[in-house]
């Protein structure tokens, strides 16, 4: 069984919970997720099954979209609604829609973030949340992330009585939406936190494509596996190079190939294709610019091909 499942992870479950349940539903151990979603966050979580697990890292690195609710005036230990309140400061004056939009524009593009203490980022071989749970605070390295789009979804001015607003975020890998909420508050000199979050898109997959665990279980019980998407959807942004019979046999055996065989392809990774099916992932040779070397052979084969 090979393919990608566009799962809608429900609130209250960890990503590992989803993997564990799908292993039981599908009757296979080779199942993996494509990036952790916190238990209180719901949304799109592509799941890789069988050979598709070799593609998990590429799907994880693709862009994502979220819808978040941000509350100004209150900060928490975890930067979201699950943490203990750290500080409070009511809005003294109303914040106009224009001022909020200006701040969102300012935070669009390439920005620097400091990962929250309650996160899985490692410092000195230890996860930050392990320090946080022990009551320790450590210096955290800044990271550069990409915000492709940041827009408000509701309208009206923000006041002490109504300090909450909703935004849509399209972003690159490694972005912390919790931290982004805090950064928005800082622009107004206010504490802030992320009240709710939903991931609406991950790579190729959108919310409309997804099924819940319960829906998947029903389909499997009826013998319907149409929810399994082909491996090729996991490399939709990767340059694709078509193989003839001779090159196909070489690629299955992991042979280094000359770049000139494919013209002058540009990119960091290449999907080697045969009749519309993914065979392998290749990348430029680190020292010999005229060569491509295999990173992963995806297609199964029975022994070497001559």
Q: How far is CA 180 from CA 35, 57, 98, 303, in A?
A: 19, 24, 19, 50
The average pLDDT across 245-266 equals: 91
In a domain, 167, yes or no: yes
302 pLDDT band, cuts 50/70/90, is low
CA dihedral sign, ordered 89, 90, 95, 100: positive
303 pLDDT band, cuts 50/70/90, is very low
Whole-number pLDDT of residue 184 = 97
Please state, in angstroms and rounded to a whole number, the distance separating the CA atoms of residues 63 and 34: 12
Do 79 and 184 belong to one domain?
yes
Q: For residue 130, give the CATH number of its domain.
A: 3.30.2350.10
235: helix, coil or strand?
helix
Do 78 and 97 belong to one domain?
yes
- Token reading at 47: 């799941």
In a domain, 162, yes or no: yes
Full domain range(s) for residue 10:
3-62+203-233
- Among 187, 202, 217, give the residue marking a domain's end: 202
Q: What is the pLDDT of residues 15-72, one digit of tens each?
A: 999 999 999 999 999 999 988 888 889 999 999 999 999 999 998 888 899 999 999 9
Q: How far is CA 269 from CA 235, 257, 275, in A?
A: 10, 14, 19
In a domain, 304, yes or no: no
In a domain, 305, yes or no: no
Whole-number pLDDT of residue 141 = 83
Do 276 and 161 belong to one domain?
no
Do 69 and 198 belong to one domain?
yes
- Among 202, 220, 251, give the residue marking a domain's end: 202
Please state, in angstroms and rounded to a whole number, the distance separating the CA atoms of residues 141 and 223: 49
Whole-number pLDDT of residue 242 = 93
Contact 7, 18 (CB under 8 A): yes
In a domain, 306, yes or no: no
Can you spell out the DSSP letters for 94-155? -B-HHHHHHHHHHTSEEEEE---SSSS-EETTEEHHHHHHTT-------EEEEEEEEEE-S-
Number of structural domains found in the chain: 3
Whole-number pLDDT of residue 269 = 93
Contact 282, 250 (CB under 8 A): no
Q: What is the pLDDT of residues 281-295, one digit of tens each?
A: 999 999 998 999 999
Do 72 and 197 belong to one domain?
yes
The average pLDDT across 153-176 equals: 95
Q: How far is CA 74 from CA 63, 94, 182, in A?
A: 29, 16, 10
Residue 2 bears catalytic tag? no
- Determine which one of 2, 38, 80, 105 is catalytic: 38
- Among 149, 184, 202, give the residue marking a domain's end: 202
Query: What pTM does this model have?
Result: 0.88
In a domain, 252, yes or no: yes
Q: What is the pLDDT of residues 196-246, one digit of tens each?
A: 999 999 988 999 999 999 999 999 999 999 999 999 998 888 999 999 999
Of 177, 176, 182, 165, nearest to 87 (Cα)? 182
Q: For residue 262, give the CATH number of its domain.
A: 2.30.130.10
Q: What is the pLDDT of residues 60-110, one digit of tens each?
A: 888 899 999 999 999 999 999 999 999 999 999 999 999 999 999 999 999
């Amino acid at each position: 069984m090979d393919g990608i499942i566009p799962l809608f992870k429900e609130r209250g479950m960890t990503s590992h919970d989803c993997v564990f349940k799908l292993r039981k539903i599908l009757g296979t151990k080779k199942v993996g997720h494509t990036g952790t979603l916190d238990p209180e966050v719901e949304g799109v979580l592509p799941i890789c099954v069988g050979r598709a697990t070799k593609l998990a890292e590429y799907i994880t690195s693709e862009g994502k979209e979220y819808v978040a609710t941000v509350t100004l005036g209150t900060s928490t230990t975890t930067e979201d609604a699950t943490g203990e309140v750290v500080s409070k400061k009511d809005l003294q004056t109303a914040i106009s829609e224009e001022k909020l939009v200006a701040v969102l524009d300012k935070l669009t593009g390439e920005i620097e973030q400091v990962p929250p203490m309650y996160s899985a980022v490692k410092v000195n071989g230890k996860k930050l949340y392990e320090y946080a749970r022990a009551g320790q605070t450590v210096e955290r390295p800044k990271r550069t992330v990409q915000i492709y789009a940041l827009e408000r979804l509701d309208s009206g001015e923000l006041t002490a009585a109504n300090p909450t607003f909703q935004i849509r975020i399209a972003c690159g890998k490694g972005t912390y939406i919790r931290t982004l909420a805090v950064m928005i508050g800082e622009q107004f000199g206010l504490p802030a936190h992320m009240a709710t979050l939903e991931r609406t898109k991950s790579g190729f997959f959108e919310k409309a494509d997804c099924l819940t665990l319960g829906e998947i279980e029903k389909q499997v019980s009826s013998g319907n596996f149409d929810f399994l998407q082909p491996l090729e959807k996991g490399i939709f942004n990767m340059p694709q190079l078509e193989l003839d019979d001779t090159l196909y046999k070489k690629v299955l055996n992991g042979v280094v190939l000359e770049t000139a065989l494919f013209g002058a392809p540009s990119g960091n990774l290449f999907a080697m294709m045969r009749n519309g099916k993914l065979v392998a992932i290749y990348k430029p040779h680190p020292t010999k610019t005229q060569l491509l070397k295999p990173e992963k052979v995806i297609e199964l084969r029975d022994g070497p091909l001559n």
